[in-house]
Amino acid sequence: MKILLTGAGGQIGHDLIGTLTASGHEVVSTDLAPRPPSHAHAQSKSWQRLDVTDPAATKAMFEKIQPEMVFHLAAILSASGEKNPTLAYDVNQTGTWNVLEAARLTGVKRMIFTSSIAVFGPPPSGPLPDPTPDDVALHPTTMYGVTKVAGELLCAYYTKKHGVDCRGVRFPGLISAAMPGGGSSDYALFMYVDAVRKGGYDAFARADTRIPLMYMPDGVRALIEVAMADREKLSRSIYNIAAFSPRADEIGQSVQRAIPEAKFTFSPDPRRQAILDSWPKSLDDSAAQRDWGWKPVYDLDGMTDDLIPRVRRMLELGAILSTH
């Protein structure tokens, strides 16, 4: 199948490209940035420059490529989005509109939307239920979350009104041996990266911070499973998916199983801590389990065992990483 990715240079694209090409799909990667110099990104034969905030360019790209399916990954994450809400609105809100419009106008049949736990926020009536189900009132606290809520609604709207079959998942914080860009959940990966290269990490989150997390191989598999599911099986457009929800200090303990000398300290950054505190502690993903058989493979320690050698390799290959 010919599949187009937007935002292919990001953390999800890094792993999704390889999985799709290994399954025999033809992947056309698009991003504002040039192809990153990683082996994973090299697996996409075609790398094209696309700014999703440009409606004409987006439509022209879809016309030229004629993809059967689009994975819309381009987004500004939560912490970066609070630094530059205008950019977050342009990329996440206008960009999603442009991608859906381009799909409608050029006859793309299926579009995959990537939402996240950032759609949630504490309702005025009290804290979020734990675990948090799919259908609660959405009160996001970040521009990123606001635009993801709107994206979810647009996804359902285009499915009903225009026959662009749009579906997707709400990702937990995703962890992999590829650097995320400006997320509030990044402390989790940084605990691994700095334990390997510096013997410890001073986290920007409190020790008792607990949010839903997921290892990227499960995240990529979930995205592909929902993408390929028969429409008749889907009772909704966007699904919660869950794997594990450790406290930050429990992540540290898991890392210490492999690197016993690693030291972790916790110096919460008020801005990012407030975002983390607004998110669910864990997610109820029973609809995904029921409708398309979702089930994670990795728990926290399973992820740690697989991830640490990969982080070592990433660092040996000379990745320049900032973990602030």
77 near ligand SER (CB under 6 A): yes
Cβ closest to ligand SER, residue 121 vs residue 183: 183
188 near ligand SER (CB under 6 A): no
Cβ closest to ligand SER, residue 67 vs residue 121: 121
Q: Which residue has the tokens 């970040």?
A: 142
Residues across the chain: 324
| Number of shown-chain residues binding ligand SER (CB under 6 A) | 11
Judged on CB neighbours under 10 Å (0-12, 13-18, 19+), 320 is: exposed
Cβ closest to ligand SER, residue 121 vs residue 173: 173
Minimum CB–partner distance for residue 189 and ligand SER (Å): 10
How many Å apart are CA 321 and CA 315, to the nearest integer?
A: 9
Residues of span 102-121 touching ligand SER by CB under 6 A = 116-118
How many Å apart are CA 12 and CA 73, to the nearest integer?
A: 7
Contact present, 54 and 6 (Cβ < 8 Å) = no
169 near ligand SER (CB under 6 A): no
Q: Which residue has the tokens 């009536």?
A: 125
- Concerning whether 144 is annotated as a catalytic residue, the answer is yes
Residues of span 127-156 touching ligand SER by CB under 6 A = 144
- Span interacting with ligand SER, options 96-104, 131-139, 181-189, 224-232, rule CB under 6 A: 181-189
185 near ligand SER (CB under 6 A): yes
- Tokens for 175, please give them: 């962890």
Name which position in 6, 19, 53, 78 contacts ligand SER (CB under 6 A).
78
> HSE (CB half, 13 Å, CA atoms) of 192?
27
33-36's contacts with Cβ under 8 Å and 24+ in sequence apart are: 33/9, 34/9, 35/9, 36/9
How many Å apart are CA 13 and CA 86, to the nearest integer?
A: 24
Binding mask 232-271 for ligand SER (x = CB under 6 A): ----------------------------------------
Name which position in 10, 173, 246, 252 contacts ligand SER (CB under 6 A).
173
Minimum CB–partner distance for residue 214 and ligand SER (Å): 10
How many Å apart are CA 219 and CA 69, to the nearest integer?
A: 18
Cβ closest to ligand SER, residue 116 vs residue 237: 116
19 near ligand SER (CB under 6 A): no
Contact present, 121 and 113 (Cβ < 8 Å) = no
Contact present, 117 and 171 (Cβ < 8 Å) = yes
Cβ closest to ligand SER, residue 144 vs residue 190: 144
Enzyme catalytic residues: 144
Binding residues (CB under 6 A) for ligand SER: these are 77-78, 116-118, 144, 171, 173, 183-185
